[in-house]
Chain A
Amino acid sequence: MVFPFVQNIFSEEETANLAKEFSSLLQKGDCISLVGNLGSGKTFFTKVLCKEFMIDDANSPTFALLNVYVGKEKFFHFDFYRVRSQQELLDIGIYDYLNDEEAITIIEWADLYPAVLPKNRYEITIVIKDDFSRTFRIEKL
């Protein structure tokens, strides 16, 4: 995969294939920020990605703010959608998780609080187009 990587996606199956391909690049300590509107497929992408690490119970962390999964790797799955201020993230101890070199962190709605994100990360931006296909753009920052 060469970055920035851009692909137009027309089905869930193609999203799944991309998530699988991308998952093979991940290492302990990595952070992935996911950016995209409601219904763009952020949680679905994360589910497929986690499955590659033998995690079957990944689901939406919108309400819980953070789900922790342990499979072949440990994952912190955040969702900033419901967070009301950056201070709340600091209170939750966001940096304790982001600085855990043993875990991989995935953040949905990461663009809501860009200031807390690590400089070095993968950023995946999903855009829903008028014909309901999606464009996935993956950058290595």
Chain B
Amino acid sequence: MTVLGIESSCDETSVAVLKDDLVLANLISSQDFHINFGGVVPELSSRAHIQIITTLVKNALAKANCTLDEIDAIGATAGPGLIGALLVGYTFARGLAFAKKKKFVPVNHIEGHIFSGFLSEDKPTFPLLVLAVSGGHTLLLIAKSFTEIIKLGSTIDDAAGEAFDKVAKMVGLGYPGGPKIQAAAEKGDKMKIPFPIADLKGKYDFSFSGLKTSVLRYVQSAFGRPQNSPIPEADLNDIAASFQYAVVKALLKKCELALKEFEISSMSLVGGVAANQELRKAFLQLGEKYKKKVVIPKLEYCGDNAAMIAFRAQSLINAGESFSLETDAFPNFSSKYFINSTL
């Protein structure tokens, strides 16, 4: 089966061609936009999506060495996301499916991330424990199959990736927060400052807002207001290392709880924050400790991308699901495959 995937839920426009288990093309606007547009950085808007979607589809098909006639199905992100952005990719996909009489699959963006580990050569096995961490999401869940997902917990305030960005800004490390904190942390002492880990009512929920505030409190009491004078580099490195350690510990603590409580066959770390080396290392170690297979997708499948959307569409078709062209995109598009909660 050959599936065309289209994603435009937020900043990125992305188009992919997936043939069975093989990604033939996975173009992402922020990385591949220069191909035809001379290196202009895309802006965060529906207009930017509109400007590049046609080109991206053409280029993806060309790269996959495939024509529209050879496509069996089209999957597009229906939400959650910004409605203006979503509608561009989704309406384009729906129109194409209607005109070319293709199977059409509305895909939940989060489900795309959840199963992105299946784009790796070594596939996850069910029941699969998934930690999904990005700028916008922090989720822990168990997929029992492609159509049964149990949500264990999520962040009650800031996402993990957001905490990295905001703490980096707060201490003067700048943007993008993830890589900057990671680089500084490598030179610092992670045991220097015992930042707290939130204890929450929901056993599997996360909170990073309190951690952000305690970094602010630490910085303010140790160095005065952060905007007044730069923090000495050695201290900055210790703060970055201690903060990163606290985030990783908070995430892994809930994973370990889940490994103890539920029957799990394999574990997967997905989403943009999966790029963090400290988190990857800790996640792999946890898998080793509990003798579970660990799958972390390649970096290009960690951020927002259409390959994961195409795969999700394919997995739903293979599961015997079918969808109406009438389904609308929706900012809070929920998932019917979550068996214990709405998403």
CB <8 Å contact, A39 and B155: no
Residues of A within 8 A of B165 (CB): 62
New A-B contacts (10) at CB < 8 Å, excluding given A64-B10, A64-B80: A38-B166, A43-B158, A59-B156, A64-B82, A66-B331, A68-B332, A84-B43, A91-B45, A92-B84, A93-B83
Residues of B within 8 A of A62 (CB): 135-136, 158-159, 162, 165-166
Closest chain B residue, CB of each to CB of A43: B157
A-contacting residues, B187-211, CB 8 Å? 209
CB <8 Å contact, A39 and B10: no
Tell whether A18 is near chain B: CB-to-CB under 8 Å. no
CB <8 Å contact, B45 and A92: yes
A39-B212, A44-B157, A93-B84 known; A132 vs B220 contact (CB < 8 Å): yes
CB <8 Å contact, B209 and A43: yes
Residues of A within 8 A of B136 (CB): 62-64
A63 to B: closest C-beta gap in Å: 3
Closest chain B residue, CB of each to CB of A132: B217
CB <8 Å contact, B213 and A39: yes
CB <8 Å contact, A38 and B158: no
Closest chain B residue, CB of each to CB of A82: B44
Contact pick for A85, options B43, B156, B157, B225, CB 8 Å: B43
B-contacting residues, A11-28, CB 8 Å? none
- A interface residues with partner B (beta carbon < 8 Å): 38-39, 43-44, 47, 59-60, 62-66, 68, 82-85, 87-88, 91-93, 128, 130, 132
Tell whether B75 is near chain A: CB-to-CB under 8 Å. no
Tell whether B281 is near chain A: CB-to-CB under 8 Å. no
Residues of A within 8 A of B280 (CB): none
We find that the number of chain B residues with CB closer than 8 angstroms to chain A is 37
A-contacting residues, B224-239, CB 8 Å? 225
Residues of B within 8 A of A88 (CB): 43-45
In angstroms, Cα B212 to Cα A128, docked, is 14
In angstroms, Cα B84 to Cα A68, docked, is 14
CB <8 Å contact, A66 and B212: no
- B interface residues with partner A (beta carbon < 8 Å): 10, 43-48, 80-84, 134-136, 155-159, 161-162, 165-166, 169-170, 209, 212-213, 215-217, 220-221, 225, 331-332
Residues of B within 8 A of A60 (CB): 157-159, 162, 209
In angstroms, Cα B258 to Cα A6, docked, is 45
In angstroms, Cα B215 to Cα A42, docked, is 17
In angstroms, Cα B44 to Cα A15, docked, is 33
Residues of A within 8 A of B215 (CB): 39
A55 to B: closest C-beta gap in Å: 12
Residues of B within 8 A of A91 (CB): 43, 45-48, 84
A64-B136, A87-B45 known; A39 vs B158 contact (CB < 8 Å): no
Residues of B within 8 A of A38 (CB): 166, 169-170, 212, 216
8 A/B residue pairs, CB under 8 Å, sorted by A? A38-B212, A39-B170, A62-B158, A62-B159, A62-B162, A63-B134, A91-B84, A132-B217
B183 to A: closest C-beta gap in Å: 21
In angstroms, Cα B159 to Cα A66, docked, is 14
B78 to A: closest C-beta gap in Å: 15
Residues of A within 8 A of B155 (CB): 59
Closest chain A residue, CB of each to CB of B163: A60
Closest chain A residue, CB of each to CB of B215: A39
In angstroms, Cα B102 to Cα A27, docked, is 46
B343 to A: closest C-beta gap in Å: 10
Contact pick for B82, options A44, A47, A92, CB 8 Å: A92
Closest chain A residue, CB of each to CB of B208: A60
CB <8 Å contact, B44 and A84: yes
In angstroms, Cα B331 to Cα A87, docked, is 21
B256 to A: closest C-beta gap in Å: 24
CB <8 Å contact, A64 and B81: yes
Which of A44, A60, A83, A84: most chain B Cβ within 10 A?
A60
B140 to A: closest C-beta gap in Å: 15
Closest chain B residue, CB of each to CB of A69: B332
In angstroms, Cα B135 to Cα A88, docked, is 19
Pairs A-B, 4 closest by C-beta atoms: A63-B136, A91-B45, A39-B216, A63-B135
A75 to B: closest C-beta gap in Å: 12
A58 to B: closest C-beta gap in Å: 9
A120 to B: closest C-beta gap in Å: 25
CB <8 Å contact, B82 and A63: no
Closest chain B residue, CB of each to CB of A66: B82
A122 to B: closest C-beta gap in Å: 22
